Chain A
Amino acid sequence: MGNIETENIRIAPGVKLPPVDPQEDFKGYRGRAKALLEKTGARVWCDVVLDTARGEFVGVLLPRSETADDRHLVIKLTYNGYNIGVAVDTITGITINGYKRGHYQIPEKAFPYDEAKPNVTLLGTGGTIASRLDYRTGAVIPAFSPGELYGAVPELADICNLQTYKLYGEFSENIGPKHWAGTAEAIAKEIEKGVAGVVIGHGTDTMHYTAAALTFMLQDLPVPVVVVGSQRSSDRPSSDAAYNLIRAVQTAAYGDFAEVMICMFGPTSDSYDLLHRGTRVRKMHSSYRSTFRTLSDTPIARVDDEGFHPIKSETQYRHRNPENKVKVRNVFDERVSIVWYYPNMQPDVIDSLVDNGYKGIIIAGTGLGHVNKPLYPALKRAIDAGVHIFMTVQTLWGYVQMFVYDTGRDIMELGVTPLGNMLPEVAYVKLGWVLGHTHEREEVIEMMRTTVNGEWTEREPFDGYLLFQGGLPELEYYYKRYRL
């Protein structure tokens, strides 16, 4: 700890500190830094003057990220709002001149109600649609209420009457089968109340798993279910959160769709969102705004401030239909895994899954759906033990075609079932869902091969395969002429 003498600890006359709150007062500080605060009586949100070996620093003492070291205090410099760290060891004196606690809160305003507008429900599971700073980790955490959302995105009130419920507050990597089941149930309840559509706020990382799960768990939808998130958190002026939320709410309120869809940026420009079918979509870039892409197919439609521009023809998507009664089938058997095949994979990878009680395996095979020969006995053993094994492709685009090469025929012979152009993640979700219904081999295969909504398409259109690459003359022309 610093060389701070007791006589160098000063509290300006008239300064009143609130009652001690061990949770808040040293937020994020530990070790030496915390000891210094305790000794001096300074706390987070105090106005302080720090005398140090490197000079004097004046500012507000801020909470510190828990993962940062214990050798610095963070202060926000008073006159310019910059944050800096001051090394604890250099501090020789401290004066406390005041206390003002910061409140980061989006101004909450009552969401206006207009009888003429459709009702939409937004269910929150987490993610960065609305978020605020978390000093504990230094990262952002979600904030969420209709009032907050209205405060942040007032345009929503021009579209609909919005209700919001917070189901979960999870980063999307923490979302799993239990959340899918709970969300499906909550959506069905809202639909039964007669809303025009439901929007699900979700972190983007696993959004496509959730969209697939909801597609299987909610059948005969009368209205759209729109899953939405953002790639740039809403605490940034350039965030895509507001735009995505507006488009998702617009789709839920007015879109002539009755499917589970993901609504996210089409290009990186603020131009339009794409509506992706929940079973054909995948997060394809770790950070790009336009990260979600429909694979081996086209998105259903484009949505912008002028309205909806279908990409698929009328007969290729399900339309809003109040006659439909939604059926909830939110079962899931968690003993399912994905195996991403790589050259020289050893059979013990499969064996260990079987020995650990897994009941279903989705293989993402090479090329048209292949694995190496040494794996055959392990696959045989697994199938004999009653494990359901299905083949998808790690090329992500295209079909499993196991008749083309002998390898494919041999693998099928072992009892591995090809799944067409089903995406590996979607196959994983579907197998868990199917095994929630039955473990009968024939029934499982039958259900896996029966399409619920587009997870296996009969044909791939010529423009279902698009990768954004430089050097293609037609793309060069496009992004110079029409924007990225």
Chain B
Amino acid sequence: MSEWKELGFKAGLEIHHQINTEKKLFCKCPVQPYSDVWHAEMLRHMRPTMSELGEYDGTALMEFKTKKEIIYRLNRETVCTYEMDDDPPFPINQEAVDKALTIALAFQCKIVGELHVIRKQYLDGSIPAGFQRTTIVGVDGILTLASGKQVEIIQIGLEEDSCREVSDIGHRITYYTDRLSIPLIEVVTGPTLDTPEEAAEATERIGRLLRATGFARRGIGAVRQDVNLSIEGGTRVEIKGVPRIPRIPALLSYEAHRQAALLEIAAELKVRGFAEGDRPGELIKTNPKSVEFENPILRATQIAGDEIALVKLPQATGFLSKSLTQGHTFADEFAGRVRVVACLDSTPNLYHTDGASGGLNEVDRKTVIEEAGASEKDVVVVLFGNTRDITTAANEVLDRWAEAILGIPNETRQALADNTTDFERVLPGPDRMYPDTDSPPFEIVEKRIEKAAKYVPELPWDREERYRKLGIPEDIAVDLAIDPLAELLDKTIREEKLQPLRAGEVLSRFKKAERRKHPDLKQPSKEQWQQILDAMADKKVYREGVPTLIRQLCAQPEISLNNILEDESRIPLNNQTINSHITKEISDFDFTSAYHKNNIPTLIMCNIMKKVSGQIPGAEIWALVKEQVAMHD
């Protein structure tokens, strides 16, 4: 049995991908590249509200405890009163709905009868309204993995994107608002991925299928991946902001180990007589003034007149210093909560008496234990900071210790650079959903679904396989499988006028190379790419001439391809003309300059290609050059 099966590893994905539309989802602001330019600032706070079933959401309450000041930076070009939550939403962007329908169909989802806009609460400030407007387009779809395994797609959602964070320091969090309300597709899988590698593969496949539709927006931050992970005996933990697919296996292994270690702690606590619902531990004392700490940070806290709090956790010895996963101990669970909820975000933000990893020297450790009236079996957590936050922090430590008996708390965690995770917030549940009373529901009629179905792309992995069988090189097959230009390659294959390899080379390698060389130029349109392929099929231009042709098209979009091809330097040459070119090159060539005789044809070839590139196939020139050089000998 594999390690993962033994652990009861279950992962699910939530992939968020921006889609390309002209305007934002609920207002008429343009979708533009991000900018750090801002013209005004706005300050808001958030309060939790109830779901329509009458319940408060745990995340919402936690975020309310943090009492954050939220600052929004507003750019006049990209933000209007809608994003500021100073205007109700305008009707949902129909271009986005159509594209979302196509995507839902690409994942073989069932399309809903009526779209209902829902508010999903986020009190972290990432959306000024305090909720994200979101809607479900389809449910119950399928993603097939290479092994043939079918992964359930629970839902395809269409929602507005949130703000970009600038900074989060203490009680103040600052955001840019330009990204806010850009249409975002959410793809959610069932918790049926059984290994870290499977999770990585599914992430990659979802991304590739989204790209294949041609509707996925490109660029930094256009895609965000969250992974849900649970193991046997635990509960779901959400990992947010998983950066790159190759890191997913490591990230999930570490997280699975962390969860397993938490379950071990829970089991051990049961043995020691702890029971669910207990809240063992107490806040012993704040501000022990008579004590002088040796630890410089605690000393500085005392001098600054800030507070120090001692929280006693009875019989906790051995737990806080227990390693959970790579470089993380159980004490880090407490530190995470204190950092997020109490906004004590300097490092370290707590010390404890459970061994050397607690950060206290022997003198301070003894002092703390004595001050807290603790025994060697107890652990004392030392918190420091301003008075208001220290009380919140102490409560968080006590809450987290009470949760230890439950094993794995329901959390959203952030992915760190070392592939481990840290606490971000309490995992939100269905209670944070509320109907958007500002938006009426609207019907998705059958006709509209039929129209959207026409844009569903062939599955990228099927297309790749088909191209491979035609002898198209791997890099081109993989690239074009998710490129809308693949349509042109397929046309070439059908019409048989041009070798598929040649068309693929132009649409993939040449295109990429030119984009890399001239990233600022406007790329050719689909029609222009087709014209290039047609010109090649008609032998008006040869392979070698295509890169310069692309460049000319990009640089002067107003000039038609035919005009460019009419230029004298582009008219195809016959053998006679090219032979005279070769003769001239040979007569001009300094044969003494060549290091090796075998290089001579190549050097001559280079000189000729500079002058006649694309006017005659390179292979033909090469044959003629070799012939003439041999004769020259």
Spell out A's residues near B (CB within 8 Å): 52, 54-57, 62, 65, 67-69, 71-72, 74, 76-77, 79-87, 90, 102-106, 133, 138-140, 231-239, 242-243, 268-271, 287-289, 470, 476, 479-480, 483-484
Contact = CB atoms under 8 A, between A and B. Distances in A.
Contacts of B437: 133, 138-140, 233, 235
B429 A81 contact: yes
Contacts of A105: 54
B50 A81 contact: no
B497 interface: no
Interface stretch (B1-9, B79-87, B325-333, B539-547): B79-87
A238 B443 contact: no
A238 B112 contact: no
Contacts of A476: 39
Contacts of B44: 238, 269-270
Given A104-B52, A288-B86, A238 B116 contact: no
A361 to B, nearest CB: 35
A133 B54 CA distance: 10
A81 B39 contact: no
Interface of B: 38-54, 60, 71, 74, 76, 81, 84-88, 110-116, 118-119, 121, 123, 128-131, 134-136, 139-140, 154-155, 157, 188, 429-435, 437, 440-441, 443
Contact of A90 (B113, B123, B129, B429): B113
B571 to A, nearest CB: 56
Contacts of A69: 443
18 contacts: A52-B113, A54-B111, A71-B113, A72-B113, A77-B136, A80-B155, A81-B429, A83-B116, A83-B435, A85-B115, A85-B441, A86-B113, A87-B443, A139-B437, A235-B437, A238-B46, A238-B130, A483-B40
The 7 residue pairs across chains A and B that have the minimum distance between CB atoms: A85-B114, A237-B130, A81-B430, A55-B110, A87-B113, A81-B433, A269-B43
A71 B112 contact: no
Nearest to B43: A269
A270 B41 CA distance: 12
**Residue of B43, B116, B131, B430 with most chain A CB atoms under a 10 A cut-off:** B116
Given A74-B114, A239-B130, A480-B39, 6 more contacts: A52-B113, A67-B440, A68-B441, A237-B48, A268-B84, A484-B41
A76 B50 CA distance: 16
B42 A268 contact: yes
A234 B49 contact: yes
Contacts of A140: 437
A90 B45 CA distance: 44
Contacts of A86: 112-114
B60 A74 contact: no
A236 B49 contact: yes
Contacts of B135: 82
A84 B114 contact: yes
Given A102-B54, A138-B435, A74 B42 contact: no
B93 to A, nearest CB: 19
A236 B110 contact: no
**Residue of B44, B45, B443 with most chain A CB atoms under a 10 A cut-off:** B44
Contact of B45 (A52, A82, A270, A287): A270
Contact of B110 (A54, A79, A233): A54
A81 B155 contact: no
B537 to A, nearest CB: 44
Contacts of B431: 81
Contact of A72 (B85, B429, B441): B441
A232 B85 contact: yes
B140 A55 contact: yes
B41 A479 contact: yes
A451 B87 CA distance: 36
Contacts of B49: 234-237, 239
Given A55-B139, A102-B53, A268-B86, A236 B429 contact: no
B138 to A, nearest CB: 9
B134 A82 contact: yes
